[in-house]
Amino acid sequence: MDRLAITGGFRLEGQIPISGAKNAALPLMCASLLTKNKLTLSNLPHLADIKTLQMLLEGHGVKSTILQDGEKPGEGQVISFETPDITNTVAPYDIVRKMRASILVLGPLLAREGEATVSLPGGCAIGNRPIDLHLKGFEAMGAKIELEEGYVRASAPNGRLTGGKVHFPTVSVGATENILMAATLASGMTTIENAAREPEISDLAHCLNAMGAEITGIGTRTLEVKGKETLHGAEYAVMPDRIEAGSYAIAAAMTRGEIELIGDNLLDVMTGTVGVLKEAGVDFKETDNGVIVTLGSEKIKGVDVTTQPYPGFPTDMQAQLMAMMTQCDSASVINESIFENRFMHVPELCRMGADITMHGSTAIVRGVDQLLGAPVMATDLRASMSLVLAGLVADRQTFVNRIYHLDRGYERLVEKLSAVGAKITRDANLGI
């Protein structure tokens, strides 16, 4: 397996183009199942998860054509997705187990074909992650749900879902997206209450409207969807990745550097992250092309944070913030309220000399003078990034193993960090 070798201690300076958001791209690709016509998506990042979903979609009859490979840094891919007929309504275990977001084919398949069978995604490194909210939502739209041999079989009586009221007791990004997509082709009105408000959901809703859907309340807790007989094709550009942007903002602050993040409306979509980073002493200055990030204070200030659904501080930034807080002037309290087991980076950061104690879902991070490079192991996508960030300021070399997690979610990580002065290489087959 490959590993990353990072020599810490270099100040980062320059520009980093922010890629299209993985978490927006995946549901947008699934939305292509809702129409016979072509959905052309631009600004798609080159990521393992995009390829995995492409493969899954092809199994359902989607013809995807790469119109622009986006090989230059800062350029995304342009891919068209066309599904004249759904050739198969089964999403197999082999692919679904690799990527939980595969569950997002369930809504579109069920809505267009009146039936779908999708493997249960199973557990995952950051917690149980059930799909009960998705399933209850489909039931509220008249679907019959059966669980059999590790698969969810969903069917709509008379072949079409009916609009209804879907109230989520807990905010769920994936469930909101799945129900939203399904509702666009259901008969009648669907109201989604306590919907997630993440910008990726608004991105999906705007794309669906461009495809002929009628969704109102975008960006609020209540989405209203007037179902249509059919949707049509569209062209749509994926929004920038606010988690990638936040991760590089932290890299700028930790290395006392100055990085211009290149992308549209970054500060708007990064609300929760920017608020907390400002408290920690980070400065953001908007430019014509994006935003310049620097550390405005002498030292990073300790902050007390609880992860929350948007617009709160995102759970997907928790591990990276923790790496940053290992360098704070005092102590920081980080509470994880979304996923029950999202602290697997803690023992690895401690191996690098961090001072972190855990109390249930709360971590107390005391700032240390210097992290020390060490061989470490990535356990999930964002945990992996926290180890990279720690490596950027650690004394001597850090080797990050199992970097296939990073390949799932950070486009051209080595290239982007090297361009701003980081000493980072990818060593083929040297990892464990």
CB of 287 to ligand UD1, least distance (A): 28
Under the binding rule (CB under 6 A), the answer on residue 315 touching ligand UD1 is yes
Token duo for residue 330: 């005092």
Identified binder of ligand UD1 from the candidate list 113, 203, 244, 316, rule CB under 6 A = 316
Q: Which residue in the shown chain puts its C-beta closest to ligand UD1?
A: 174
Q: Kindly tell me which of 87 and 128 has the beta carbon lying closer to ligand UD1.
A: 128
CB of 233 to ligand UD1, least distance (A): 24
Token duo for residue 365: 């991070």
| Interacting residues of 149 by C-beta distance below 8 A, sequence separation 6+ | none
CB of 343 to ligand UD1, least distance (A): 14
Under the binding rule (CB under 6 A), the answer on residue 23 touching ligand UD1 is yes
Under the binding rule (CB under 6 A), the answer on residue 51 touching ligand UD1 is no
Identified binder of ligand UD1 from the candidate list 185, 338, 387, 422, rule CB under 6 A = 338
Binding piece for ligand UD1, criterion CB under 6 A, among 127-135, 219-227, 246-254, 362-370: 127-135
Cis before 347 (ω within 30): no
Q: Which residue has the tokens 């990535």?
A: 378
CB of 432 to ligand UD1, least distance (A): 26
Marked catalytic residue, from 30, 124, 328, 350: 124
Identified binder of ligand UD1 from the candidate list 60, 112, 134, 197, rule CB under 6 A = 134
Residue 96 Cα to chain centre, angstroms: 16
Under the binding rule (CB under 6 A), the answer on residue 98 touching ligand UD1 is no
Under the binding rule (CB under 6 A), the answer on residue 131 touching ligand UD1 is yes
Residue 184 Cα to chain centre, angstroms: 23
Token duo for residue 359: 């109390």
CB of 318 to ligand UD1, least distance (A): 9
Residues 26-45 that bind ligand UD1 (CB under 6 A): 26
Under the binding rule (CB under 6 A), the answer on residue 273 touching ligand UD1 is no
Torsion angle of alpha carbons 68, 266, 340, 220, nearest 10°?
-100
Burial class (CB in 10 A: 0-12, 13-18, 19+), 353: middle
Identified binder of ligand UD1 from the candidate list 174, 246, 290, 431, rule CB under 6 A = 174
Identified binder of ligand UD1 from the candidate list 65, 68, 87, 170, rule CB under 6 A = 170
Q: Kindly tell me which of 142 and 311 has the beta carbon lying closer to ligand UD1.
A: 311
Q: Kindly tell me which of 132 and 415 has the beta carbon lying closer to ligand UD1.
A: 132
Compute how many other C-beta atoms are within 10 angstroms of the C-beta atom of residue 68: 12
Of 156, 157, 233, 140, the residue nearest 194 (C-alpha): 140
Identified binder of ligand UD1 from the candidate list 132, 286, 415, 427, rule CB under 6 A = 132
Cα(274)–Cα(58) distance, rounded to whole angstroms? 38
Asked if 291 contacts 261 with a C-beta cutoff of 8 angstroms, the reply is yes
Angle (nearest 5°) at CA 79 between 58 and 402: 70
Under the binding rule (CB under 6 A), the answer on residue 173 touching ligand UD1 is yes
**The residue type at 63:** K
Cα(292)–Cα(239) distance, rounded to whole angstroms? 19
Binding piece for ligand UD1, criterion CB under 6 A, among 109-117, 156-164, 308-316, 353-361: 308-316
- Please state the φ and ψ torsions of residue 130, each to the nearest 5 degrees: -70, 170
Under the binding rule (CB under 6 A), the answer on residue 305 touching ligand UD1 is no
First to last CA, the chain: 6
Cis before 311 (ω within 30): yes
Q: Is 124 noted as a catalytic residue in this protein? A: yes
Residues designated catalytic: 124
Residues near ligand UD1 (CB under 6 A): 23, 26, 100-101, 127-134, 170, 172-175, 196, 314-316, 338-339
